[in-house]
Structures are given as structure tokens and as C-alpha cells.
Amino acid sequence: MIKGADTVVVATKNAGKVKEFAHAFARMGWQVRSMFDYDGMPDIVEDGLTFADNARIKALEVAEALGLPALADDSGLEVEALGGAPGVYSARYAGEGADDGRNNAKLLAELGRLGPLPEADGPDGLPDGVRALSRARFVCALALYDPADRSFRETVGYADGWVLDRPLGQGGFGYDPLFWVPAYGLTMGQLSTDEKQSISHRGRALERLLAELSQTGLNARK
């Protein structure tokens, strides 16, 4: 059972995600480590059909390799105008090894072929000259696996918004600078860490997981 000051390994080498997880778990006094802290970790093939599938795959492999509880997420952007793409391929939308810039560029290129939405169909409050290209939502599936009793804890979080025709803001990572959040009148890339945590897909999934763990511990099964 995870208790205060115990260690949770975040199964990622995405520095942005590590920062967000560490920020959330710090409130409970838990130590957070990541794949940056361990050598010789196996390459994980994320071949699941859903975000939840991939989160389970990553959490299980890392936890079994290290003998420690491992938390994994699989998250991405589902764009309405693209039929839900890039979905589970969000991190490699522009190809294996693609960085955020290339993924964002491909997204804008794909949506650019469709053209911007009529202003009347888009969100209110956009900066002058900025147009919305499509409704979209971020999805995050979390899986926390404890090898001590081979149990999973899982939650899902969503954040609804719009994809813009250009990036705004230098914060966040991934598609954050393109994702307009109507409640704040800003993109995810313009929000502070606390603001983003309060409304993001990952923040909402984490809050649900932490609330459950604070009441039941890790290996109390449903």
C-alpha cells in the first residue's frame, strides 16, 4: 500500500508530464521518480487500441521491471473535424520520434485543408486575427500498477476546447499552445501549472486517482 513518503515511478521520459505528476503528488508527501532516474529500462511497445490499453501496458512493464508501483498515462488529442485523430497516435502523429513542433505542424496542415470554422460557429473571445479550426478534446487515461499485489487503479479525465490556427503561449507541451480553453479565454500553453492542473485532462484524472488513494490506499480493490 502506498503511504506518505513512498515512491511512485512515473512511466515516462516526457519532462512536462513528470513535472505535472510531481506537482500533484507532492501534496501527499510522495516521492516521484521517472524513467530519467533508471538505466537499462526496456523499450515499451505501445500497441494498445485505446488510451487505457497503452496506460496499462506501460505501468505493468515498468512496475515489474523495478519492483515498485508505477503510474503511467496515455493521453492525446481527439479533433472533431478529423474524426477523432490523432487520438492514440498523438505523440507520434508526424512519425516515430517526432517532436512537438512537427506534430503541431502536421495537425495545422491537416486542419488547414479543411479551412477555419465560420466565426459564428467558433468560441467567443479569441484574440484578433485568430480563428478556431475545430472542436477538440484532450483525453488522459491513468493506470497505477502495484507489483506487490498485482493490482491496477485506473481513472480517466477529459478537457474540452478548440484547436486554433496558430500557437499561443510558451508553457505546457505537446498540443497545449494550440488548444483553446473557453473557461479561461487562453490556450493551455498560456495557463500556469496550477491553472492547467485544475482543468486539464491529466489534472482531472490525477485528482480522481489521488482522491481514491487518499481514502483507500493503493491495493484496496473495488
Domain boundaries, the chain: 7-216
Once rounded to an integer, what is the mean pLDDT over residues 164-184? 94
Asked if residue 214 belongs to a known ligand binding site, the reply is: no
| CB half-sphere exposure, 70, CA atoms < 13 A | 23
Can you give the pTM of this predicted structure?
0.84
Across the range 163-168, mean pLDDT stands at 96
pLDDT in tens, 75-116: 999 999 999 999 999 999 999 889 999 999 999 999 999 988
In CATH terms, is domain 7-216 a member of 3.30.2000.20? no
Residue 202 in marked binding region? yes
Query: Is 196 among the annotated ligand-binding positions?
Result: yes
Catalytic residues: 74
What pLDDT is stored for residue 105 in this prediction? 97
